[in-house]
Chain A
Amino acid sequence: MLVLTRKVGESIQVGDDIRLTVLSVQGQNVKMGILAPREIAVHREEIYAKIVEENRLAASSVSLENARTLLDIGGLLNAEKEKKR
């Protein structure tokens, strides 16, 4: 891992298009500003990790047995929808 020391207000340039700026430091909290092209997704690492994990969980939850639960719920959801009409 590349380690760089920065002061408040200083930045790190990643490639041509991404700039990370340290906005403020208060105790353990570092506030960062991130400038990146819109097509670059920027996420807090732990949220990103949770989404990856949930996608894996969803894919591995597919089984004929679990599909039976969906059959039951599907019927209930459809009935609920009908009622609202």
Chain B
Amino acid sequence: MIQTDESFSKKGGNKQVVECPLGEIEYDEEDALFFPEGLYGYDQTHRYVIRSQKKYFPFEWLICLEEPTLIFPVIDPMVVISDYDPRVIDVESSDAIRVIVTMGSSAESVTANLRAPIIISREKHQAKQVILTDSLYPLRYPVMKQPN
């Protein structure tokens, strides 16, 4: 069983297991996030869960519960750019932000999509991917690029 951290978890609840390409991942029914509009290109998918595995941290997995073969690596954008500010209206201070990571076979080829962050309302258990309309944040920002 994969160990997960507690950042998106609440105590108690209803333990479930989802079988995905990364193995069996346990999640709490209460941790499921509802994406009313799905993700771009995946508008028919609505129920996801974010899971962390210690060894991959700070990378996490956004797993589709309706289609467990559908997984997106995600990361807290602040880890990539410490002053990341997407300036999205309607964001609550308790909301979390994650950006989707495109993996690659070399460190330089791993990029984060800073242009279309996912805003997560922990209170409402809802999430939404937004496209920043007039933003200079790129679609493919190398995760390993360190500002000098």
A contact set with B: CB distance below 8 Å: 41, 43-44, 47-48, 50-59, 61-67, 69-74, 76-78, 80-81, 84
Contacts and interface: CB of A to CB of B under 8 A. Distances in A.
Given A54-B116, A77-B143, A70 B56 contact: yes
Nearest to A63: B103
Interface of B: 21-22, 37, 39-42, 55-59, 70-73, 79, 82, 100-107, 109-110, 113, 115-116, 129-131, 133, 139-140, 143-144, 146
B134 to A, nearest CB: 10
A58 B133 contact: no
Contact of B103 (A52, A55, A62): A62
Contacts, number: 108
Contact of B41 (A52, A62, A70, A81): A52
The prevalent SS among residues of B at the interface is loop
The prevalent SS among residues of A at the interface is helix
A71 B107 CA distance: 10
Contacts of A81: 58, 79
A62 B107 CA distance: 14
Contact of B40 (A48, A69, A70): A48
Chain A CB within 10 Å, residue with most, of B37, B59, B71, B115: B59
Contact of A52 (B40, B106, B140, B144): B40
A47 B73 CA distance: 21
Contacts of A69: 103-107, 109-110
Given A73-B107, A74-B55, A74-B59, A58 B116 contact: no
A52 B104 CA distance: 18
A66 B22 CA distance: 12
